[in-house]
Structure 1
Amino acid sequence: MTSFSFHGGRLADAKAHFGMGNAPWIDLSTGINPHGWPGIGDLAMDWHALPDPGALDDLEAAAAACFGADPAHVCAVPGTEIGLRMLGDILPGPAIHAWPSYRTHGEMIPHSRPMDINDLTTVEGATIVLANPNNPDGRITPTATLRGWLEARQGSASWLVVDEAFADASPEIGLGAHVHDEQRLIVFRSFGKFFGLAGVRLGFVLGPRAVIAQYRHRLGSWPLSAAALAIGTVAYRDADWIGTMRIALREQASALDAVLARRGFKAIGACPLFRLIETADAAALFERLARHAILTRPFDYDPCWLRLGLPANREALDRLDRALTDG
C-alpha cells in the first residue's frame, strides 16, 4: 500500500504486485484526462535543432490567452512539479500550506506548516499555498474567498500561491487575470492533466515580472524540449477541442457519479477529472479493484479515502461497475 498511496501512476508496480499477467489494466490512479489531445500525430518537429526562443514566446502567448493572463507574467517550466519546488528559493518568510493536498506543497517552502483549509481565514503574515480545485477531494475555493486573502496580503511580505493544476476543466475559477506586478499572487498551471499528455512535462508559473525574471534566470537557455513547445502551442490554440472536452468531462464525471451512487458510494468533489469516495476500509476496496485489474489511489493519511479517475469509455466504466459489486 505504501508505494501506491504515495502518488498515482504506478501501473507497472501494480502489475508486478498483483500478478495479473497480461490483463488489460484500467488505470484510475491519477486525475489525468483519459482522452489525450489528438493533434500530436499531425505535428512535425526538427529534432536536430535547438528549441527556438521564438517558439517559447509563442507557447507562452497561447497559454496566457487560455489563462486570461498577460504573456509578460507567464513563464513555461518543464513540469509544474519543478516550478513549485523552485519557488522555495524565491519566496522569503513563513508559509502555510492547505492540507490535505499535494505533498509537494508541504516540501517546496522550508518549514511550511500544514493547516486545514477551513482555518486559512485566520492566517496573517504568512504565505498561503493551496490547490484550486484541491486534490484529492476536488474541493473548489470560491474566487471571492481567494481574492479576499489576496487583498489581505497587499503591502506585506506574504503571498497567495494557488496551484491550478486542474483548473482547465473549470476556467471560471482561474486567477490568471488577477496576476500583475502589484499583486502578491503566484499561480501555477499544468498542461498534462487536462490535455491528457502528462508525459510532455509542461507547466506554467504566473506571477509579477520580478518573480518571472527569477524563474527565467534559474531555468537558463532552452528550458523546454522542441516537442513540448510545439505540442503545447497548438493544443492551447485548439479552442474547439478545449470547449468540447470541458463538456465531455462533466458528462463522464456524472456517469461515474451514477455508478458510484448505485453501488452505495457518494462521490466527493467538483473537479470532473476525478472523484473521491469514503468507505470504512479503503485498503480492502483498493485490493478488490486491483484483483480486477483496476488501479485506484489510496491515501496513507486517511484509511477511508479512495480516489478514482475517469474511466476512458463505457466499457471501462462497466468493468468498474462490476468490480464494485464483487465482494
Structure 2
Amino acid sequence: MTKKRDHGGGIDAAIANYGGTRADWLDLSTGINPVAYPMPQFPADTWTALPDEAAFTRLYALARRFWNVPDGAAIIGATGASAIIAALPHVLPEGEVCIPGPTYNEHGAAFAASGWRLGQDPSHALVAVHPNNPDGHIWQVSDFDATYTIIDESFCDVMPDQSLIQLASRPGTIVLKSFGKFWGLAGLRLGFAIGDPAIIAKLTDLLGPWQISGPALSIGAEALADPAWADETRRRLVADAARLDTLLTANNAKLIGGTSLFRLYQVEDAAAAQDTLAKHHVWSRIFPYAPDWLRLGLPAPDRWAQLEAVF
C-alpha cells in the first residue's frame, strides 16, 4: 500500500482526535482563499451535456488574457494542477530531475513513480514552485537554464507582477496554474498547463477528451473574465495576512515566509502549537522535516474571533 503523503486538510482526522463537527472547525491548514469566487448561474445542460469545443475555446481565450500568455505558448486545462503534475513525467524524456525543497511533495512523488531519478543536477529537468510552498521563495528568470523546466505558479495569482509566464514561450518550459487556491474553489478541480506546444500536445493526448467538467468550464470562464474581483481579493488577502502576522508575532511566533494566502512561522514546538490550536477547533499545518515550522492560512472574515480566542 502506498504511503499517504503529507498535505494540509484532513479535518476528518482532526475531528476524530479532538471532537466537534466539521462546522465547528476553522481549517487553516491549507492556502485556499477562504472567500471563494461566487457561483455563477449557468444552464442546466452544463450538467447534462458533454462539454463542447466552444466552452474549451472560451475558457482558454480568457485564461490567455488573464495571465498574459505569450502567443508562442499552448495551453491545456485539466481536473486540477495535480492531474497535470502526475502526467508531466510521462510526456518528458526520462532522466534526472532537480526539485529544490522543501516544497510541494507531489512533484517528487510523480517523477519518482514514473522512474525518474531525483537529484541535484538541474541541467536536464528542473521543477520550481513559484512562490514556493511553504516558505514563499520567489524564483528569478536567471535561475532557469534546464532543458526541461516546470514552473508551478499555483500560488502566484496573489502576486501577478512576479509571474514568470513570459517563460512559457521557451522550448521545454511548462508553467502550471491552479484554480483552487486564489479563487477558493479547490473542490472544483481545475488547473492549467501553459507552455511548449510539443509538450502540451503530448499532455492533450494523455489526458484525453472532456478532461474538464462542464461546470468547471463555466465557472472558470466566469472567474477569469472578472479581473475586478481578482484585484479586490488581492487587497483583502494582503490586509488579512498582515492581521494574522500581528496576532502571531505578538504571541512569540516569528514570521519566516509565506504568501498572502498562507504564512509560515517559526515557533518553539510546532506540534505543541498545533495541539493548542486544535483544542479550540483550529486546524494548522506542521511539517515532519521542520519541528519548529507552523503554517497558517487565513480565516474567513466571520471566523477571526475563533482564532483570536486561542491566545
1:105 is aligned to: 107
The offset of 1:21, in angstroms, is: 4.9
* Compared CA separation, residues 42 and 160, structure 1 to 2 (3 A): same
Partners in 2 of 1:265 and 1:112 — Cα distance?
A: 37
Q: Give secondary structure in 2 for the equivalent of 1:194.
A: coil
Corresponding residue to 2:174 among 186, 191, 204: 186
In the alignment, is the contact (CA less than 8 A) between 1:106 and 1:114 conserved in 2? no
2:191 is aligned to: 203
Corresponding residue to 2:304 among 295, 299, 317: 317
2:143 is aligned to: 149
1:13 is aligned to: 13
1:42 is aligned to: 41
Partners in 2 of 1:321 and 1:128 — Cα distance?
A: 41
In the alignment, is the contact (CA less than 8 A) between 1:28 and 1:294 conserved in 2? yes
Which has the larger share of helix? Answer: 1
Q: For residues 276-296 of structure 1, what are the alpha-carbon distances to aligned partners after superposition, in whole Å with 9 as ceiling and x for unaligned?
A: 111121111101100000001
Q: Give secondary structure in 2 for the equivalent of 1:192.
A: coil
In the alignment, is the contact (CA less than 8 A) between 1:28 and 1:296 conserved in 2? yes
1:83 is aligned to: 84
Which has the larger share of strand? Answer: 2
What pairs with 1:1-327 in structure 2 (closer than 5 Å)? 6-21=6-21, 24-38=24-38, 40-46=39-45, 47-70=47-70, 73-92=74-93, 93-109=95-111, 110-113=115-118, 123-141=121-139, 145=140, 147-150=141-144, 152-153=145-146, 158-180=147-169, 182-313=170-301, 315-323=302-310, 325=311
TM-score after normalising by structure 1: 0.87
Percent of residue pairs identical:
38
* Compared CA separation, residues 264 and 280, structure 1 to 2 (3 A): closer
Partners in 1 of 2:122 and 2:278 — Cα distance?
A: 45
In the TM superposition, structure 1's runs of 4+ consecutive aligned residues that sit over 3 Å from their partners are none
In the alignment, is the contact (CA less than 8 A) between 1:179 and 1:207 conserved in 2? yes
In the alignment, is the contact (CA less than 8 A) between 1:140 and 1:270 conserved in 2? no
The offset of 1:126, in angstroms, is: 2.6
TM-score after normalising by structure 2: 0.92
Partners in 1 of 2:244 and 2:5 — Cα distance?
A: 22
Partners in 1 of 2:186 and 2:265 — Cα distance?
A: 24
The count of residues paired between Structure 1 and Structure 2 equals: 303
The offset of 1:149, in angstroms, is: 3.2
* Compared CA separation, residues 270 and 10, structure 1 to 2 (3 A): closer
The offset of 1:247, in angstroms, is: 1.0
Q: Give secondary structure in 1 for the equivalent of 2:43.
A: coil
The offset of 1:22, in angstroms, is: 6.9
AA partner of residue 178 (structure 2)? S
The offset of 1:65, in angstroms, is: 1.2
**Unmatched tracts of structure 2, length 5 or more:** none
Q: Over the residues paired in the alignment, what is the CA RMSD in angstroms?
A: 2.0
The offset of 1:310, in angstroms, is: 0.5
Partners in 2 of 1:322 and 1:4 — Cα distance?
A: 33
Partners in 1 of 2:156 and 2:201 — Cα distance?
A: 25
